[in-house]
Amino acid sequence: MRILIICCTLFCFDAQAMDASLMVDIIECESGGRYNAVGDDADGPGGISVGIAQFQKATFNEMKVLAKMPRLRWKNPIDQMRLMVWMLDNGYGHRWTCYRKLMAAKQK
């Protein structure tokens, strides 16, 4: 799992400011690094979150439009990481419960 993230961080992304260790921490917290993880979204209206970054389909589709990445696929772990990088670079990290938890823990 970590090898996949490291390879994508080095070769897949055009990241501007994204902290790779933050991305790993969010993924570990959200899905335990499982690409096929499925969970109920505690913050949403009964939606289902899937994948390595635990995206709901509606959120993924909304963000890929904002990111101008229309070809990304919701359940693809590489595409989820690509979109996650864009979101972290562009101030949307708060959309993950684990991001908010991690930031709160840093402020203590």
pLDDT reported for residue 10: 46
Tell me, rounded to whole angstroms, the distance of Cα 36 from its chain centroid.
14
Domain ranges of the chain: 19-106
Cα atoms in the Cβ-side hemisphere of radius 13 Å centred on 13: 26
Task: Write b or e for each residue in 19-57: b if 16 or more Cβ atoms lie within 10 A of its Cβ, otherwise e.
Answer: ebebbbbbbebbbebebebeeebeeeeeeebbbbbbbbe
| CATH number attached to the domain at 19-106 | 1.10.530
Distance CA 75, CA 66 (A): 18
Distance CA 58, CA 1 (A): 26
pLDDT digits (tens, 9 = 90+) for 33-85: 999 999 876 555 556 899 999 999 999 999 999 999 999 999 999 999 999 99
The closest alpha carbon to 96, from 47, 37, 46, 56, belongs to 56
User: For 16-44, what is the mean pLDDT?
Assistant: 84
